[in-house]
Amino acid sequence: MTTLVRILNKIANWKTLVILFILYVSFPAYWLKNAGDRINQLAGKPIGPIDLTFGFDPTRTLQMVAEYGPEARAYYTRTELTTDLIYPIVYSLLLAVILTMLFRNKPYKPFAWVTLLPFASLLFDYLENATIVTMLSTYPSQSMPVAVLCEVFKLAKWLSFGLSMGFVLYGLFLWIGTRMKRI
């Protein structure tokens, strides 16, 4: 844990932040948008990726897998094993760098683990992706336990991501407050 915190302290600067931000923006603006559009096109209807659904509904997840059709399932599997392996690294590093820049060397610094919280999102995202690939590649066989695991990992991903964003907002609030006191 301390090694990763040291690495983050070393790389967390404006240059790294800008590079990661540009990389991050490219995913929803191009890579993931095009993948979602292609999945819908191959499925013949707007279904969207499982990754972006909210709530806990394993039955809906299994229904989505069935509705994709063979071409969309094959394409979605490739996307999960390529683009969606890189994206979690990018957003986790971006959030970790932001949190490190906001909280290092500050008297109001929360616990050191806050800067590592985005990597929990990465872990849960990878576990979610593994269950999605399993469901896509084993269809027409459908496993409710795998769908439930997918929903658990997806929920944990969104919760850890939301917590990370909450700490970013908290850090920004404190940073702005400090700047306002100087004026």
Kindly report, residue by residue over 74-108, the tens digit of the pLDDT: 999 999 999 999 999 999 999 999 999 998 877 66
Domain with 22 in it: 2-170
User: Does 181 have pLDDT greater than 70?
Assistant: yes
Count up the domains in the chain and report the number. 1
- Does 140 map to a domain? yes
- What confidence score (pLDDT) does residue 104 get? 86
- The answer to whether residue 122 is domain-embedded is yes
DSSP assignment, residue 55? Answer: S
pTM of the predicted structure, to 2 decimals? 0.92
Query: Which residues fall within 8 angstroms of residue 119, CB to CB, at 6 or more apart?
Result: 4, 92, 96
Give yes or no for residue 37 having a pLDDT over 80: yes
**Looking at the domain assignment, is residue 103 inside a domain?**
yes
The Cα-based distances of 101 to 93, 122, 145 in angstroms read: 12, 20, 40
d(CA 157, CA 119): 10
